[in-house]
A and B are shown apart, each in its own frame.
Chain A
């Protein structure tokens, strides 16, 4: 379902955000990036990143210490 998956598990701030940014380049406009992370700080940071850049945070889920984000590239 995701157009591109980025595994940022084990990485600390700001690497999940930088990996998300890089990963979005691999996704067509309108497509979905899936980002996996274990950094608890990434929850608030992904929200801020999406608000600032205008990309849509479609889903933010937490299961067994792994955070899964689905980001829709809007531009």
Chain B
């Protein structure tokens, strides 16, 4: 426990359901920042969100179902139409572009944010049902997550000041 975390500290809980590179940012940014501001933080990883706990992250983005995605390019913004995602290599290209932007703009990597979350005593809960469904073992995950189910989350959420579904 860090020095600021006390019995009367505010608390934040999050359900993390998505496992793409873009969607991995909001939960980890909020978790690390909240922990830095002295909140007790719990993250419950379920469905595709569970991939964010895997030892080796290989996150990507897709243009499919993402009409708002526009990459800055030569002073303009390039739209990537839905249909393009069917073209082999387009999602890999979009992922590469986003990773480039992340580096260029001094944005933390998901690995760095995740490490900070672990160091800040953020409670990580891996959904047992998702582990079973997608056939993951505890050894596939980084050190630190506890296993739990819906009741574990609800108990945490009941006591939390802020509850988010991402």
The residues of A with any CB-CB pair to B shorter than 8 Å are: 10-15, 17-18, 20-21, 39, 48-49, 52-53, 75
Q: Known: A13-B29, A17-B33, A18-B32. Contact between A52 and B108, CB under 8 A?
A: no
Let me know if B106 and A10 touch, CB within 8 A: yes
Q: Is B77 an interface residue (CB 8 A)?
A: no
Binding site for A on B (CB under 8 A): 4, 29, 32-33, 36-38, 105-108, 116
A48 to B39, CA, bound (A): 14
Tally of A-B residue pairs with Cβ under 8 A? 38
Given contacts A17-B33, A18-B32, contact A12 B4 (CB under 8 A): no
Q: Which of A12, A39, A48, A53 meets B38, CB within 8 Å?
A: A53
Q: Provide the main secondary structure of the chain B interface.
A: loop
Nearest chain-A residue to B38 (Cβ)? A53
A21 nearest in chain B by CB position: B36
A-B contact pairs, 6 of them (CB 8 A): A11-B106, A14-B108, A18-B33, A18-B108, A21-B37, A53-B4
In the assembled complex, how far is the CB of residue A56 from the closest CB belonging to chain B, in whole angstroms? 15
Q: How far is the CB of B59 from chain A (nearest CB, A)?
A: 18
Inter-chain CA distance A15–B107, complex, in Å, is 8
When C-beta atoms are compared, the residue in chain A nearest to B119 turns out to be A22
Contacts A12-B106, A18-B32 hold; do A49 and B37 have CB atoms under 8 A apart?
yes
B108 touches A17 (CB 8 A): no
Bound form: Cα–Cα A13–B108 in Å: 8
Supposing A13-B29, A53-B4 touch, asked if A18 and B106 sit within 8 A by C-beta, the answer is no
